[in-house]
Amino acid sequence: MKKIFLIIALTIAAIATNAQSCYWVALTDKAGTTFDPYSYFDSKAIERYKLNNADLYDITNYPLNANYVSQIDAIAIEEVGQSRWFNAVAVMATPDQIAAIEELPFVREVVPIGNNMQPASHKGTEGFETVESLSEGKNITDQLLRMRGDIFVEKGYNGTGIRIAVFDGGFHAVNTHQAFKHLRDNNQIVATWNFTNKTADVYDNHSHGTMVLSCIAGKMGDKLLGLATGATFLLAKTEVDPEPFKEEVWWAQAVEWADKNGADIINSSLGYTQDRHYTWQMDGRSYVSKAANLAARKGILVCNSAGNSGEDENWKIIGAPADADSILSVGGIQPSLFSYQHIGFSSYGPTADGRLKPNVCNFGYAEVADSKNDTATTFAAGTSFSSPLTTGFCACAMQAVRNEKPTAMQMKSLIEQSADLYPYYDYAFGYGVPQASFFTDWAKRNIEPAATFRFMQFGDYIVIYPNAQTNKKTFKRTTVINGVINSKENEDIIMFKIQDKNGLIKNYVNLGIEKMDPDKSCVAIPKGAIYGHTLVAHVNGYTDSVKLKGQDIIAFAEEDHTFDYHIIDTAGFIQENIFENGNRSLADNAVSNWGVGKKYTSEVYFQYGIHWFFPYTMRYSDAYNVGFRFIRNFRKWYGLGLGYEVTDKIFRYDPVTANCWDNTLAITDFTNVNKKRYFCYDVNLEFFQRIRLANTGKTKKGLHWDLGVYGGLHSNEYLVNYNENQNPNAALMQTNTYSEVEPSSNWNWGLTSRLVWNWIGVYGRYRMSQPSLDLPRLELGIQMSF
C-alpha cells in the first residue's frame, strides 16, 4: 500500500512540474525573410489572386524568421506547426518553458490553444427518411433536387475548372469506393496531406470525410450524390482523436496549404464549440475564424457547417469558424423538397456580436457513400452534410458565372441572393436553400416576385393578409418524422419576424398553414409586439415589411410589448389549422453560465488518505475529507477556485510505547492499554488554481490539475482505552475517556494539489503548521468529486 501511495505522490509531483499544453507564439516581425510567389504558389492560386485583386506579395505570405523559430524550438518540447498568415509558431511546452519563451525579444504574445475540434455529424439517423421522392427513376437525388441541381446537370455545369479543398478527419475508402471512381480515373484528386502525421496518406480508418466528399462530388453509376463531379480536389486530414490541442493548428495550416495549392473553395465540416470557447466568444475573433476570413480576403470561398448544437442546452448556437464574417455558414433543414422545417440539431445564429448566421441552409440528412461497402450508399445526419451539398452547388455556380469573374466575396453574396427565401432571413435558415436557376437564367434575376400578401390594420393588430390570387405551391409532402408518417397537402409556408433598427431579430416564426385562404387564414400580430421594431414577413417567395406609424406609435408606447400572434379569419375568430414549424426568440439562445466547461463550476467531493513519515511511536493513520468547491473559469483551460471542507484525521499510536501525550497525562503503566488515538477535526478554506489538461470523458470534466493553499481551524483530542478495573490511572481520564492536552483549537495551513480524471483522482497535501506533538505532515490519497 505504501508503495502505491508513493507512486501516486511522485506522479502528482511530475505532472505538477511538467504539465504541458499547446500555445501559439506570435512573433513581432519577419525581418530578413524573402518571398517569391511564383515559385511558392500553384498556378491556379496565382490566377485566383489576380481575379480577386489580392496581393501576391502580402506580408502574410512571407515565411517566418528561421532564427526566431529555432530559438523557440530550443526551449519548447515540440514544434506543432507554423502559420505564415499569423506570423506564429505553435509549440507544446510547460509553463516554465513558456515563461522563458515570453522573455525572448521577438515574441509579441503567447496564446494558449484549447481543444477540441468536432465533426459536425449527428449521432443518429433515425426519423429523417423521406419516403416519397421526386428523384425516383432519375440520376439525381432529392438532396440535389432541393437546390434545383437538375438545372445545373441539364446545362452541363459540374464544377469543371474549380478546385475544392476538403478538411476533415480522414477519407477512408475514397481510394477504393465506387462513388469516387470518376475522380480517381480522371486524376481529379490533385493533392493530399495528413497534417496529423505529416504524410500524404489520408485514407485511414476515419470515414467522416468520405461521406462529406460524396456530398460534394459522389457518383454511383449515373446517380449523383453531389453536384461537383467535374471539380478537382485537395484532401486534408486535420483531426485525430488523441491530439485535441493540435487540431486548431492543423486547421490553420490546412487553410494556408489550400491557398498555396490553388483552392477556389474550402469545405470544412468541423467546428469548435464549448470544449474550446464560451458562447460570448463566437464573434469571429478566434484563430480559426480569423484564418477563414483571411482565406476569403485571398479569394477563397469558405463553406463551413453551422454545427450540431441546436438541441444542446449548454451551447445552441454556431461555433467557430462558422462565426467568421466572410464565409458561408450552412445550417440544416429536414429532408423535404418543399417545406421548411429546421432540423433539430442544427445550430442557430446569430453570432455573439449580432451578425446573421447561418447564411444559407441545406438538407441535414443525406445519402452518402458507405465507407464499409465500396459499392453501396447509406444515410447520415448532420450539418456536416448540409455544408458539402452547398459546396458542390457553389462549384457549379462558379463555373456558370465564370465569364462574369466574380470575386470570392461577390460569389458569397450571389449564393445568398440565390437562396429561395432571399431577402428574408432568420437565425434558423439564413436566406434559405440556394437555387440553381438564379445562375442559369440571368434575365429573370432582377424580376420582382408577385406580391402574395399585404399588411392590413385590424384593431390592435397588424394582419398578414394573403392575396386572393397567390402563387402558392400545391403539393403533397410525405415524410417520416420520428417514426410517424406526416402528410400535408396544399400547405403554405408563412415566415415572419420582429427585428430592431440594427437588423437584430428578436422573434421569428415559421408556420405551415393548410389551404391558406384570405377569408379564413390570416396571421395577426399585436401592435404592441411591433412597437419600436419592424415586422418582416415572407409568403411563397415574396417579402415585405411594416412599422407602426402615426398615432399607433403614441398609442402603443405604454402597451404590453410581449410577442404573440394568432391565426384568424376575417371575422376575427382564431383558427387551428396550422403547423408551427418553428417559433423562436433571441432569448432562446441563452445558456446557463453554470456547469462543466462553463464560466462557473461547482463540485462536492470526498477524499480518503493516509499520512507519511510517521514518528516512531505511530503505527498508521486515516484521513477523511468532505467539502465543496466553487471555480470561476477565465479560460476553457484555466480557472481559480475556493473550497470549504471538514476533515477528520485519526493517528493511531503504538499502544505500548510512550509518547508525549502519555507523558502529559503521566501514564506509565501500559500493561492494559488496548488502543491510543489522536483525533484532528479541521474546518478549512482553500484557494486554488485549476488547469484543464484534457476535456474528454463522459462528464467532459476531463483531466485537470489543481494547485493551491488551505488553512483553517484545527482542534484535537487524545483517546486512550483502559481496563478501568485494573488501571489506577483511569481516574485521570474524563468520563468518556477523552482528554484534552492542548488548547482545543489552533490555526492550521498547508499546500495542496490534485490530479483528477472526470470524477476520480489522487490528491496530496503538505501541512506547514505543526501542533506541539510531532505529527506527520504529508497526506496522500484518492478523491471522488461530483
pLDDT digits (tens, 9 = 90+) for 117-137: 555 554 454 444 443 444 555
Q: Which three cell numbers stand for residue 550?
A: 402615426
Report residue 347 as a C-alpha cell. 445550430
User: Which SS3 state, helix, strand or coil, does residue 560 take?
Assistant: coil
Q: Write the pLDDT tens digit of every residue in 392-427.
A: 999 999 999 999 999 999 999 999 999 999 999 999
Q: How far apart are CA 515 and CA 489, in angstroms?
A: 8
Q: DSSP letter string over 368-428?
A: EE-TT-TT-EEEEESHHHHHHHHHHHHHHHHHHTGGG---HHHHHHHHHHHSTTTT--BTT
Phi (first) and psi of residue 785, to 5 degrees: -130, 145
pLDDT band at residue 577 using 50, 70 and 90 as cut-offs: very low
Query: Which alpha helices (DSSP H) does 34-148 contain, by range?
Result: 37-40, 43-51, 66-75, 95-102, 142-145
| pLDDT for 3 | 52
Query: If you average pLDDT over each of 6-20, 398-412, 436-450, 735-749, which comes out highest?
Result: 398-412
- Count H helices and E strands in the chain, helices first: 17, 37
739 has pLDDT over 50: no
Facing residues of 566 across strands?
Answer: 524
Spatial CA neighbour of 348 closest among 584, 599, 593: 584
> CB 503: neighbour CB atoms within 10 A?
13
Quick check: 486 pLDDT over 70?
no
Do the Cβ atoms of 23 and 96 come closer than 8 Å?
no
Grid cell in block for residue 413: 453574396
With bands split at pLDDT 50, 70 and 90, how would you rate the model's confidence at 588? confident
| CA-only gyration radius of the chain, Å | 33
Q: In angstroms, rounded to a whole number, what is the distance separating the alpha carbons of residues 248 and 287?
A: 8
Please say whether the beta carbons of 753 and 781 come within 8 A.
no
From residue 54, alpha-carbon distances to 58, 120, 251, 255, 293 in Å are: 8, 31, 22, 16, 13
**Lowest-confidence region among 63-72, 283-292, 633-642, 766-775:** 766-775
pLDDT of 39 higher than 70: yes
Range picked from 14-18, 112-116, 189-193, 670-674 for highest mean pLDDT: 189-193
